[in-house]
């Protein structure tokens, strides 16, 4: 089996262009497909709030509830803002498009860079958190978090390279399973508290809030903002909805926000009531589920459903990243290879790029969610801010009906997310946000450099403004054929040389004068028509004298071109090729940046050896 | 600075052929140059005898003395045998040559394989032992033995790639320093024992030999035979001696054997008298030197001189391995690249190959001498045996004066070394000798396969027995030019196509029908002379339809060849190339094993972008 057959086995047969179809789905299914990223943050956001508080004091943990409420309020503002975006961009208003159209290309590139980083982090964080939840239930995995994370990324890559049609039904299962599981968890927890029969029976209620430093509360808030990642997904996916698609998308967005808010607040309150304190090797969700259910079936159900929705969230990035990369590539801000639709109708290069960077992050941060999350929020809130600010400019310009109300909503969104952005960047700067703060301008620079390169190339190659020649004329060229002796392959090359030019010279580098004499004898017998040039080589290099000769001829003849015809032989088995001198390769490399040279190999195919 | 300048800085300017000179040296210098490999084994051989004995019981260690004496007797037999080889092969009689000429090619290849393995192990063992001796004095190094070993190999590689003329004077210093140091060590030790004032005062004499199993004694003997590695070096290096070179070589061989025997026996007896027991982290030489000298200047002198002679011994393999590999390559048993003299007049590929394998062994065996030595002796005694057996056949055939006496000496040598070979292979089999036992036939197979390949290729390409054509005729070919649009680079390719054939077709793979219409419009304006073929591509692949078309044309035209001219552009900075589709590369790869296709790139050099 060769590598092509292996590819077909793993990825399936190529798909024809006619296979591109657009499935229109109901609100229920759309909720499942588009909200996994947002909902999955319930799995880690509460814990992120608790960690700084618990590190300060046990009593400080009580502050998690007001902080979660503040984040809930932020969710309301965001939801309302994105309802405006849905109205304005029925074709899907990603931050890149909204920022580029309303705030200019540079703002668009900042948003694009932030989003690309976010997609990568969605994969890394979701996979790491998914593995951590399973590892909470199966301690063996704790030692192998990185390996498990890399395995999940490999499977996601393969799955997405195959480009399985996004069957909404399949995606609906884990999402609704998650919603069901967490309803059971929150319901059971609340019921146990209500009847006073908590299995732990400790620390259930702190009525008083101890005084904590304001900065601690802000830091805790900044950590918890990771709950809001993925909220924008529905506004990007409007074309997926059945008609009236905008109305349906807005309704779905509200449902999603309500579920997310309720789960996040519910889990945070329960975690507090049950006295859950973050600890090494077990997630807060796992601790809570264990407190509520003990080591029962329901405990494992919670862990499995959490892991599943996290993997699903990671999978959404595999749709978003390649699509955004292809948009950037079509606008010539990324290498054009990113815009090439592979034979399975997916942007294969984007998928591979995403996997590689996410895998690198998993390895670099040892598969630890807490180390990855601080990098996350900066990009998310930067794209929120740019998107909302873009909407403000949009309303001011377009003045559509009810524009003023929308302006107020988006303005509020822009200001709030901007403040959160600053908070997140400052308070999580030393935990890793600095990387993103440095990376985004670097990416924008990278985008603009690529853009400039493509523009210059297009200009240099362009025929615009030039006059057609009337008639194409052939070029004048001399053929030089380097040889190391005379054999069948050389004769083929000589005959080929004769067929492409009238000025053909064979060229022999002398390493041993006796061999030259023998060659000259053979030459008159076999190839007397073609002049044989013998070059001396004091340093035993074959390449150097040849290159000198080629350059000399090029100067003397003043031809348009020199064609170097290299007789090569191709062995029947590819690894036999290593037994032969790679002279052709060396000549090619030596002349690579040399203008006016065409290098041609005439290959003699060996039969069996 | 580019990679070529870096190479020049590290390796120096190329050397001209005229720089090959042959220095003739005196016996004193020859002893220094040729005996470091043999003498350096004093550094580890005693310890190798002690380890199995000490593992059995403390009292068993007394047997080290008779065992060392047996090895001394073996040294006498070997010395006498190699004196005969010197007489018979004044040009240098390596085991490969002697075995090949007298016992046939296959025996020669076995000897060649065994010798190559030996050279690799000489480097690995000597470097590891050198590092261990320094690490005995500087405990910090014990944790970094592998890294230190790899560093030494890097330096040896660089040194040998520069191809510094083997200045005998420089090489004489470490050898005579070693001889002097060990004379001081053995002398001082003996003196202290004589006056009865050993600093340790313990375990000085065992008058009685406890009974030990015979197999243990044999195993210990097999381990100690590593003392005899390198004895053959002088018989290989005869051309280096001043006239009368054979007589001088024989004298030098006797001196070397005497020094080696005296040092080996002296160290073994002293080690026993001073009650040296092998232990982790310190070599036996270091323990002995510490017992004799305490922590004084002399102790460090011994360690430094031991390390130096070991590195020098490793360096001798850098002369031997590439030379033998080049002999094998000239006989077409190894890839011909091994026989290419680099621009510094050294066999660079052989040097690099040796370093890579030795470095691999150092890493695999964690820089531990005791793990490497069991691999060593099998190859050494196999080449001894083949060389001596070859000499037996030589005497029977040539019947030179005094041939019968020589026959007896070489016969004795052959039988003895054969017995030792069996002993070593059996008793050290499970310690690693099995690898060599398996590796040697594998190498012989590899050599013969390579040989067969070269013979077949030569036969297939040969013009012998063919009649010259009278006159070379040009080939008939059609030119196909794949294009993705029309720009300056394409026009160059079209003009080139016109200059090499009268049948030129441009070929466009349609991904978007609108783009095709635009292209057709432009085409009539710019290149109407050349037919434009439009190919459909349902799976969006550019390559597949093109390859099909090329193959179809090839069938239809029945030409000798198809020339595919690919318009490429070369960016001014090499890394910009990644921003462009690698279509040329893909086409080249797809047609690699496809007969009758010549692929040519016409490159348009971009100026600035």
Task: Give the side-chain half-sphere CA count within 13 A for A426.
Answer: 11
The C-alpha angle A313, A317, A322, rounded to 5 degrees, equals: 160
Beta strand B477-483 with B504-510 is parallel
- Cβ–Cβ < 8 Å for B264, B68: yes
Q: How far is CA A481 from CA A346, A591, B152, B303, in A?
A: 45, 14, 44, 59
User: Could B488 and A462 be called an inter-chain contact, meaning their C-beta atoms sit closer than 8 Å?
Assistant: yes
The neighbouring-strand residues paired with A536 are A510
The shortest C-alpha distance from B579 to chain A (Å) reads 5
User: Could A607 and B460 be called an inter-chain contact, meaning their C-beta atoms sit closer than 8 Å?
Assistant: yes
Residues from chain B that touch A343, judged by Cβ atoms under 8 A, are 539-541
User: Could B461 and A569 be called an inter-chain contact, meaning their C-beta atoms sit closer than 8 Å?
Assistant: yes
The shortest C-alpha distance from B524 to chain A (Å) reads 10
User: Could A14 and B569 be called an inter-chain contact, meaning their C-beta atoms sit closer than 8 Å?
Assistant: no
Which pLDDT band holds residue A165 (cuts at 50, 70, 90)? low
Per-residue pLDDT at A343 exceeds 80: no
Beta strand A597-605 with B477-483 is unpaired
Per-residue pLDDT at A369 exceeds 60: yes
Query: Locate tokens 């029945």: which residue?
Result: B558
Q: What is the pLDDT of residues B505-526, one digit of tens each?
A: 999 999 888 989 999 988 988 8
ipTM score here? 0.73
Which pLDDT band holds residue B202 (cuts at 50, 70, 90)? very low
Predicted local confidence at residue B309, as pLDDT: 92
Average pLDDT over residues A417-444: 89
User: Could B561 and A474 be called an inter-chain contact, meaning their C-beta atoms sit closer than 8 Å?
Assistant: no
The shortest C-alpha distance from B595 to chain A (Å) reads 7
Residues from chain B that touch A598, judged by Cβ atoms under 8 A, are 496, 600-603
User: Could B472 and A530 be called an inter-chain contact, meaning their C-beta atoms sit closer than 8 Å?
Assistant: yes
The shortest C-alpha distance from B393 to chain A (Å) reads 34
Using a pLDDT cut of 90, give the percent of chain A over it: 37
Residue in chain B nearest A477 by alpha carbon: B499
| Residue in B333, B469, B472, B574 to test binding to A, most A beta-carbons within 10 Å | B472
Cα-atom radius of gyration of chain B, to the nearest Å? 33
Residues from chain B that touch A491, judged by Cβ atoms under 8 A, are 463, 472
A147-151, A466-470, B151-155, B319-323, range with the lowest pLDDT: A466-470
Task: Give the start-end residues of each E strand in A18-166.
Answer: none
Name the token pair of B15. Answer: 């050397």
| Residue in B15, B17, B462, B463 to test binding to A, most A beta-carbons within 10 Å | B463
Predicted local confidence at residue B431, as pLDDT: 83
Which pLDDT band holds residue A27 (cuts at 50, 70, 90)? confident
Average pLDDT over residues B581-589: 79
Residue in chain B nearest A16 by alpha carbon: B539
User: Could B608 and A456 be called an inter-chain contact, meaning their C-beta atoms sit closer than 8 Å?
Assistant: yes
Average pLDDT over residues A231-236: 86
Residues from chain A that touch B581, judged by Cβ atoms under 8 A, are 336-337, 340
Predicted local confidence at residue B234, as pLDDT: 87
- Measured in whole angstroms, the distance separating CA B153 from the mean position of its chain's CA atoms is 12
User: Could A579 and B335 be called an inter-chain contact, meaning their C-beta atoms sit closer than 8 Å?
Assistant: yes
Sign of CA dihedral B206, B207, B208, B212: positive
State the Cα–Cα distance between residues A293 and B375, nearest whole angstrom. Answer: 61
Predicted local confidence at residue B372, as pLDDT: 86
DSSP B242: P
Name the token pair of B485. Answer: 């649009």
Residue in chain B nearest A492 by alpha carbon: B475
DSSP B529: T
Sign of CA dihedral B148, B152, B153, B155: positive
Per-residue pLDDT at A202 exceeds 50: no
Which pLDDT band holds residue B94 (cuts at 50, 70, 90)? confident
Predicted local confidence at residue A308, as pLDDT: 92
| Residue in B14, B450, B453 to test binding to A, most A beta-carbons within 10 Å | B453
Q: Which residues contact A94 (CB under 8 A, 6 or more apart)?
A: A115, A232, A236, A324, A387
Average pLDDT over residues B227-246: 86
Please count the other Cβ atoms lying within 10 Å of the Cβ belonging to residue B23.
Answer: 11
The shortest C-alpha distance from B389 to chain A (Å) reads 33
Residues from chain A that touch B462, judged by Cβ atoms under 8 A, are 487-488
User: Could A15 and B539 be called an inter-chain contact, meaning their C-beta atoms sit closer than 8 Å?
Assistant: yes
| Residue in A463, A494, A559 to test binding to B, most B beta-carbons within 10 Å | A463
Please state the φ and ψ torsions of residue A424, each to the nearest 5 degrees.
-65, -45
Per-residue pLDDT at B609 exceeds 60: no
Reduced to 3 states (helix: H, G, I; strand: E, B; else coil), residue B279 is: strand
Which pLDDT band holds residue B54 (cuts at 50, 70, 90)? confident
Peptide bond into A524 cis (omega under 30): no
List strands edge to edge, sheet with A477-483.
A532-536, A504-510, A477-483, A561-570, A597-605, B597-605, B561-570, B477-483, B504-510, B532-536
Using a pLDDT cut of 70, give the percent of chain B over it: 93
Per-residue pLDDT at B583 exceeds 80: no
Region for residue A417 given its phi and psi (left: phi exceeds 0; alpha: psi -120 to 50; beta: otherwise): alpha
> SS in 3 state form for B398-427?
HCCCCHHHHHHHHHHHHHHHHHHHHHHHHH
A116-120, B113-117, B156-160, B265-269, range with the lowest pLDDT: B156-160
The shortest C-alpha distance from B15 to chain A (Å) reads 6
State the Cα–Cα distance between residues B94 and B87, nearest whole angstrom. Answer: 13
The C-alpha angle A52, A53, A59, rounded to 5 degrees, equals: 160
Residue in chain A nearest B577 by alpha carbon: A335
Name the token pair of A484. Answer: 């190391």
Peptide bond into A514 cis (omega under 30): no
User: Could A598 and B601 be called an inter-chain contact, meaning their C-beta atoms sit closer than 8 Å?
Assistant: yes
User: Could B499 and A488 be called an inter-chain contact, meaning their C-beta atoms sit closer than 8 Å?
Assistant: no
Residues from chain A that touch B343, judged by Cβ atoms under 8 A, are 539-541
User: Could B598 and A453 be called an inter-chain contact, meaning their C-beta atoms sit closer than 8 Å?
Assistant: no
State the Cα–Cα distance between residues B566 and B492, nearest whole angstrom. Answer: 10
Average pLDDT over residues A438-453: 92
Per-residue pLDDT at A88 exceeds 80: yes
Per-residue pLDDT at B89 exceeds 80: yes
| Residue ranges in B166-296 assigned as alpha helix (H) | 168-194, 214-224, 233-236, 245-273, 284-293
Q: What is the 3-state composition of chain B as percent helix, strand, coil, each rounded to the nearest 5?
A: 70, 5, 25
Reduced to 3 states (helix: H, G, I; strand: E, B; else coil), residue B601 is: strand
Nearest residue to A579 via CA among B233, B449, B609: B449
Per-residue pLDDT at A208 exceeds 50: yes
Q: What is the pLDDT of residues B427-475, one digit of tens each?
A: 888 888 888 889 999 999 999 999 998 898 888 888 887 777 778 888 8
The shortest C-alpha distance from A80 to chain B (Å) reads 41
Predicted local confidence at residue A214, as pLDDT: 84
Q: Whole-number mean pLDDT of chain B? A: 86
The neighbouring-strand residues paired with B509 are B535
Residues from chain A that touch B577, judged by Cβ atoms under 8 A, are none
Predicted local confidence at residue A493, as pLDDT: 92
Please count the other Cβ atoms lying within 10 Å of the Cβ belonging to residue A286.
Answer: 23
Name the token pair of A487. Answer: 């054999």
Domains of chain B: 24-454 (1.20.1740.10), 477-605 (3.40.50.620)
Residues from chain B that touch A578, judged by Cβ atoms under 8 A, are 335
Predicted local confidence at residue B368, as pLDDT: 84
User: Could A475 and B496 be called an inter-chain contact, meaning their C-beta atoms sit closer than 8 Å?
Assistant: yes
Cβ contacts of A442-447, under 8 Å, gap ≥ 24: A443/A109, A443/A113, A443/A116, A443/A117, A444/A106, A444/A109, A444/A110, A444/A113, A447/A109, A447/A112, A447/A113, A447/A328, A447/A333, A447/A334
Residue in chain B nearest A578 by alpha carbon: B335
- Cβ–Cβ < 8 Å for A33, A256: no
Residues from chain B that touch A463, judged by Cβ atoms under 8 A, are 486-488, 491, 522, 526
- Cβ–Cβ < 8 Å for A228, A41: yes
Please list, residue by residue across A14-46, b when 16 or more beta carbons sit within 10 angstroms of its beta carbon and e when fewer do. Answer: bbeeeeeeeeebeeebbbbbbbbbbbbbbbbbb
- Measured in whole angstroms, the distance separating CA B261 from the mean position of its chain's CA atoms is 29
Please state the φ and ψ torsions of residue A482, each to the nearest 5 degrees.
-75, 130
Predicted local confidence at residue B204, as pLDDT: 46
Beta strand A532-536 with B477-483 is unpaired
State the Cα–Cα distance between residues A120 and A62, nearest whole angstrom. Answer: 33
| Residue in B473, B496, B532 to test binding to A, most A beta-carbons within 10 Å | B496
Q: How far is CA B271 from CA B65, B286, B382, B510, in A?
A: 10, 11, 30, 84
Nearest residue to B440 via CA among B114, B163, B93: B114
Q: Which residues contact B175 (CB under 8 A, 6 or more apart)?
A: B31, B32, B33, B35, B36, B39, B309, B312
Residue in chain B nearest A460 by alpha carbon: B606
- Cβ–Cβ < 8 Å for B587, B512: no
Predicted local confidence at residue B18, as pLDDT: 60
Residue in chain A nearest B539 by alpha carbon: A16
Predicted local confidence at residue A204, as pLDDT: 46
Q: Which residues contact B327 (CB under 8 A, 6 or more apart)?
A: B94, B96, B97, B112
Q: Which of A14, A336, A337 sits opposite B539 (nearest CB)?
A: A14
Predicted local confidence at residue B208, as pLDDT: 63
Predicted local confidence at residue B201, as pLDDT: 44
Q: Whole-number mean pLDDT of chain A? A: 86
Predicted local confidence at residue B215, as pLDDT: 86
User: Could B461 and A489 be called an inter-chain contact, meaning their C-beta atoms sit closer than 8 Å?
Assistant: yes
Predicted local confidence at residue B422, as pLDDT: 92
User: Could B501 and A501 be called an inter-chain contact, meaning their C-beta atoms sit closer than 8 Å?
Assistant: no
Name the token pair of B293. Answer: 């000298």
Predicted local confidence at residue A201, as pLDDT: 44
User: Could B489 and A608 be called an inter-chain contact, meaning their C-beta atoms sit closer than 8 Å?
Assistant: no
State the Cα–Cα distance between residues B306 and B179, nearest whole angstrom. Answer: 10
State the Cα–Cα distance between residues B544 and B134, nearest whole angstrom. Answer: 62
State the Cα torsion A411-A413-A415-A421 to the nearest 10°: -150
Please count the other Cβ atoms lying within 10 Å of the Cβ belonging to residue B3.
Answer: 7
- Measured in whole angstroms, the distance separating CA B438 from the mean position of its chain's CA atoms is 18
Task: Give the side-chain half-sphere CA count within 13 A for B160.
Answer: 29
Q: What is the pLDDT of residues A248-286, one digit of tens each?
A: 999 999 999 999 999 999 999 999 888 888 887 788 999
Q: How far is CA A279 from CA A145, A284, A398, in A?
A: 16, 8, 52
DSSP B189: H
Per-residue pLDDT at A297 exceeds 80: yes
């Amino acid at each position: 089996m060769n590598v092509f057959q292996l590819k077909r086995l793993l990825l399936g047969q190529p798909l024809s262009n006619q296979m591109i179809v657009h499935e229109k789905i109901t609100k229920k299914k759309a909720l499942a497909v588009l909200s996994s990223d947002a909902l999955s943050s319930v799995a880690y956001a509460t814990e992120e709030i608790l960690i700084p508080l618990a590190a300060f004091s046990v009593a400080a943990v009580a502050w998690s509830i007001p902080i979660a409420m503040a984040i809930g309020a932020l969710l309301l503002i965001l939801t309302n803002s994105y309802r405006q975006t849905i109205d304005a961009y029925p074709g899907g208003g990603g931050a890149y498009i909204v920022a580029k159209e309303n705030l200019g290309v540079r703002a668009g590139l900042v948003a694009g860079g932030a989003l690309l980083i976010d997609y990568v982090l969605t994969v890394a964080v979701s996979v790491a958190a998914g593995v951590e939840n399973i590892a909470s239930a199966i301690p063996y995995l704790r030692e192998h978090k990185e390996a498990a994370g890399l395995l999940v990324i490999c499977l996601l890559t393969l799955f997405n390279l195959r480009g399985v049609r996004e069957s909404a039904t399949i995606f609906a299962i884990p999402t609704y399973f998650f919603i069901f599981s967490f309803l059971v968890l929150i319901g059971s927890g609340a019921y146990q508290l209500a009847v006073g029969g908590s299995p732990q029976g400790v620390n259930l209620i702190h009525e008083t809030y101890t005084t904590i430093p304001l900065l601690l509360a802000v830091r805790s808030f900044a950590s918890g903002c990771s709950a809001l990642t993925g909220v924008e997904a529905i506004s990007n996916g409007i074309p997926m909805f059945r008609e009236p698609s905008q109305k349906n998308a807005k309704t779905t967005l509200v449902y999603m926000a309500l579920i997310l808010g309720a789960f996040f607040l519910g889990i945070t309150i329960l975690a507090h009531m049950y006295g859950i304190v973050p600890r090494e090797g077990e997630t807060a969700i796992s601790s809570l589920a264990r407190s509520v259910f003990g080591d029962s079936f329901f405990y494992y159900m919670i862990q499995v459903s959490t892991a599943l929705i996290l993997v699903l969230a990671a999978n959404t990035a595999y749709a978003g990243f390649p699509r955004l990369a292809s948009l950037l590539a079509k606008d010539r801000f990324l290498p054009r290879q990113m815009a090439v639709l592979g034979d399975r109708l997916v942007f294969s290069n984007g998928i591979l790029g995403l996997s590689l960077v996410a895998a690198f992050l998993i390895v670099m941060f040892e598969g630890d969610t807490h180390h990855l999350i601080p990098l996350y929020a900066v990009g998310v809130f930067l794209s929120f801010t740019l998107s909302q600010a873009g909407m403000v400019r949009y309303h001011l310009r377009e003045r559509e009906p009810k524009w003023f109300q929308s302006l107020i909503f988006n303005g509020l969104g822009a200001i709030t997310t901007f403040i959160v952005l600053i908070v997140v960047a400052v308070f999580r700067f030393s935990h890793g946000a600095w990387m993103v703060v440095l990376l985004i301008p670097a990416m924008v620079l990278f985008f603009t450099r690529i853009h400039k390169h493509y523009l210059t190339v297009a200009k240099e190659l362009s025929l615009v403004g030039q006059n057609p020649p009337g008639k194409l004329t052939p070029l004048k060229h001399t053929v030089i054929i380097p040889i190391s002796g005379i054999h069948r392959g050389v004769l083929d090359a000589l005959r080929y040389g004769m067929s492409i030019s009238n000025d053909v010279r064979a060229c022999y580098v002398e390493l041993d004068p006796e061999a030259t004499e023998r060659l000259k004898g053979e030459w008159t017998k076999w190839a007397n028509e073609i002049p044989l040039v013998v070059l001396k080589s004091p340093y035993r290099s074959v390449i150097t004298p040849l290159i000198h000769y080629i350059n000399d001829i090029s100067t003397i003849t003043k031809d348009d071109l020199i064609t170097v015809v290299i007789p090569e032989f191709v062995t029947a088995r590819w690894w036999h090729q290593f037994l032969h001198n790679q002279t052709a390769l060396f000549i090619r490399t030596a002349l690579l940046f040399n203008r006016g040279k065409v290098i041609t190999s005439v290959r003699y195919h060996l039969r069996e050896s």
